[in-house]
Chain A
């Protein structure tokens, strides 16, 4: 069963305990100055953003059909059956195509290291495999971040919106976006206010490149035959022309030129 995270911003009190738990689980330093940063980075894999008295989390969405996994030339990213999208650092060559391609701009880079790696939230893959919830969900004191089966979480989110329609934006962010994500968001104010794009297609991104890549085998076979054919025909034409212009041929047809 595919797991997921439901973050309900209306329950969030902005205590940032999820940030602290995340840093701890990933072996990253955390103090007040890190806590004050409102952008994701290689040393801060999740952030709680605030706008007035409203909050919103940002973490890897762990897409159902992840763009990063499709674009990575060495297949360092993998969507696990349990839901998390994992990153195998030993494969990474550092091309940073994942950073460019991710529709949520989640993967971040260790810019200040001589031998850098990509960092991103992997939905605590090791814990999830063991049947535990993610570190952030475990740390959340209000239940704003809730871990569970993705399908059940979607049903619950729909129920919450139905029960208090004036409290929520009528949209479960992540249910449809780019083919669905393991992380689902609920908010009382428009998602754009926190930099979330709501215009994303519900089609999974990797299809965009697959449509072209899938033609390659055809292109190779047709192309090779076509080029070979052109070579044969033009070569033959040149040979015929040369033969017709040769002195022997000219003597035969009695041309004096």
Chain B
């Protein structure tokens, strides 16, 4: 057996996974009450607020990029479509994994597919996420087919690529917005900073923004860790699109806050107003200022920082909707138990690890020259992902 090299991140991953494994045992043996800080007063915590709400949003690069290349025919973006699809696919699979932890009876996760209630937003989300994960698998299949040189299957995949992408974009539009619609039903529970009839629109626009931001972030990370050439020209264009996106969102958001009279509440310092300010300053105002400066917008570092801020800002937004905004009416403060964080941390860790392995062994970044540079995937090699 080959010696496994311990790098910093591998140790971090190992610790996370150990804690996650123990938390998993607690969750399934002793139940949700013993393994989470959830209660009758606060039934949805970090597994929904972060893993599902943010997970789906962070995976939005998949539909944003496929639409750009396949529907808008902006061919020059093709080199970064595959990493975006991979991230999206991984993201959705892990959202489903997180759901298996959160659902009281995860083994019935398929029930919405056969026991219909079309009046339910959750029912619609369940269907969309199921179908979209399937679409992503079909889109990602091209990479596998290429790697295994399955020419016939590859041709079939090419033939259905455009209808698949259209289907994927529609499903994404529906469920990205519907995650916001989930909260339309709680006008008396969600704080006025976040409750708005516009929730579905805001959730959709923010998903597009985060899709762009995550694509920039991934490209930068990949160039640093996988020695991949940075597609600077593309990133600069994505940066411009991101600037337009967050500007549109900012206008929508402030107009909405103003029209509902919630802007006035901002002047009163409160727990909620601090977290709203964090979300707006970090995710919208600072990135807008940064991206307005040409020198920043055209540098890899500037784009990287801006996109990270946008992603973090919108993560804060989703957590505010799902957690902060609900605490007031619930009359309790919720902070996740260590077990909840360990599971979430493990899921994120697994996502990074699978992404790294996929990049190493599959033609993710170089669809033009399949498997020429990629080493043979031997079992031993898989163990030490990167030296």
Q: Is there a chain A Cβ closer than 8 Å to B71's Cβ? A: yes
Q: Is there a chain A Cβ closer than 8 Å to B162's Cβ? A: yes
Residues of B within 8 A of A212 (CB): 121, 178, 181, 184, 200
Question: Bound complex: CA of A205 vs CA of B185, how far in Å?
Answer: 6
Interface digits, A65-77 against B, CB 8 Å rule (1 contact, 0 not)?
0010111111100
Interface digits, B243-268 against A, CB 8 Å rule (1 contact, 0 not)?
00000000000000000000000000
Q: Is there a chain A Cβ closer than 8 Å to B38's Cβ? A: yes
Q: Is the CB of A93 within 8 A of B111?
A: yes
Given A71-B185, A75-B115, A208-B185, A213 and B124 touching (CB < 8 A)? yes
Q: Is the CB of A74 within 8 A of B111?
A: yes
Question: Bound complex: CA of A224 vs CA of B43, how far in Å?
Answer: 37
Q: Is the CB of B73 within 8 A of A109?
A: no
Q: Which residue of A lies closest to B74 (CB)?
A: A234
Question: Bound complex: CA of A233 vs CA of B102, how far in Å?
Answer: 45
Taking CB atoms and an 8 Å cut-off, the chain A residues in 93-107 that contact chain B are 93-97, 99-101, 103, 105
Q: Is the CB of A210 within 8 A of B119?
A: yes
Interface digits, B302-336 against A, CB 8 Å rule (1 contact, 0 not)?
00000000000000000000000010000000000
Taking CB atoms and an 8 Å cut-off, the chain A residues in 203-222 that contact chain B are 205-206, 208-210, 212-213, 216, 219-220
Q: Is the CB of B181 within 8 A of A99?
A: no
Q: Is there a chain A Cβ closer than 8 Å to B112's Cβ? A: yes
Question: How many whole Å from A207's CB to the nearest CB in chain B?
Answer: 10
Q: Is there a chain B Cβ closer than 8 Å to A129's Cβ? A: no
Interface digits, A181-222 against B, CB 8 Å rule (1 contact, 0 not)?
000000000000000010111000110111011001001100
Q: Is the CB of A111 within 8 A of B33?
A: yes
Q: Is there a chain A Cβ closer than 8 Å to B103's Cβ? A: yes
Give the number of residues in B that approach A within 8 Å (Cβ atoms).
Answer: 57
Q: Is the CB of A70 within 8 A of B109?
A: no
Q: Is the CB of A227 within 8 A of B169?
A: yes
Q: Is there a chain B Cβ closer than 8 Å to A115's Cβ? A: yes
Taking CB atoms and an 8 Å cut-off, the chain B residues in 97-135 that contact chain A are 102-106, 108-109, 111-112, 115-126
Residues of B within 8 A of A210 (CB): 119
Q: Is the CB of A228 within 8 A of B105?
A: no
Looking at the complex, which one of B40, B102, B105, B181 makes contact with A92 (CB distance below 8 Å)?
B105
Residues of A within 8 A of B186 (CB): 100-101
Q: Is there a chain B Cβ closer than 8 Å to A235's Cβ? A: yes
Q: Which residue of B lies closest to A71 (CB)?
A: B120
Q: Is the CB of B126 within 8 A of A209?
A: no
Residues of B within 8 A of A158 (CB): none
Question: How many whole Å from A93's CB to the nearest CB in chain B?
Answer: 4
Q: Is the CB of B119 within 8 A of A213?
A: yes
Q: Is there a chain A Cβ closer than 8 Å to B182's Cβ? A: yes
Given A97-B182, A224-B170, A70 and B43 touching (CB < 8 A)? no
Q: Is there a chain B Cβ closer than 8 Å to A165's Cβ? A: no
Looking at the complex, which one of B32, B33, B115, B182 makes contact with A91 (CB distance below 8 Å)?
B115
Q: Is there a chain A Cβ closer than 8 Å to B2's Cβ? A: no
Q: Is there a chain A Cβ closer than 8 Å to B173's Cβ? A: yes
Q: Tell me how many residue pairs across A and B have CB atoms closer than 8 Å.
A: 164
Residues of B within 8 A of A234 (CB): 71-73
Residues of B within 8 A of A116 (CB): 31-32, 104-105
Residues of B within 8 A of A10 (CB): none
Given A97-B122, A223-B173, A227-B166, A117 and B75 touching (CB < 8 A)? no
Looking at the complex, which one of A41, A69, A71, A238 makes contact with B122 (CB distance below 8 Å)?
A71
Question: Bound complex: CA of A232 vs CA of B178, how far in Å?
Answer: 28
Residues of A within 8 A of B34 (CB): 112
Q: Is there a chain A Cβ closer than 8 Å to B174's Cβ? A: yes
Residues of A within 8 A of B178 (CB): 212
Question: Bound complex: CA of A71 vs CA of B181, how far in Å?
Answer: 11
Taking CB atoms and an 8 Å cut-off, the chain B residues in 188-229 that contact chain A are 188-189, 200
Q: Is the CB of A208 within 8 A of B43?
A: no
Q: Is the CB of B126 within 8 A of A73?
A: yes
Q: Is the CB of A93 within 8 A of B104?
A: yes
Question: Bound complex: CA of A75 vs CA of B115, how far in Å?
Answer: 7
Question: How many whole Å from B312's CB to the nearest CB in chain A?
Answer: 25
Looking at the complex, which one of A93, A108, A110, A201 makes contact with B187 (CB distance below 8 Å)?
A201
Q: Is the CB of A92 within 8 A of B112?
A: no
Residues of B within 8 A of A235 (CB): 73
Looking at the complex, which one of B41, B111, B170 makes contact with A227 (CB distance below 8 Å)?
B170
Q: Is the CB of B185 within 8 A of A114?
A: no
Looking at the complex, which one of B40, B120, B187, B189 makes contact with A109 (CB distance below 8 Å)?
B40
Query: Top 7 closest A-B pairs, CB basis?
Result: A94-B104, A111-B33, A75-B117, A73-B122, A234-B73, A73-B123, A99-B43
Provide 21 A-B residue pairs closer than 8 Å at the C-beta atoms, listed in order of the A residue. A40-B40, A73-B122, A75-B116, A100-B186, A103-B189, A105-B41, A111-B32, A111-B39, A112-B34, A113-B31, A116-B31, A197-B188, A212-B178, A213-B118, A213-B121, A213-B124, A219-B173, A220-B174, A228-B166, A230-B71, A234-B72
| Known contacts A105-B41, A206-B119, A235-B73; 14 further A-B pairs (Cβ under 8 A) | A73-B111, A91-B111, A92-B108, A93-B112, A94-B103, A100-B189, A103-B189, A109-B32, A109-B104, A111-B31, A112-B31, A212-B181, A220-B174, A224-B170
**Chain B residues packing against A (C-beta within 8 Å):** 28-34, 38-41, 43-44, 67, 70-73, 75, 102-106, 108-109, 111-112, 115-126, 162, 166, 169-170, 173-174, 178, 181-182, 184-189, 200, 326
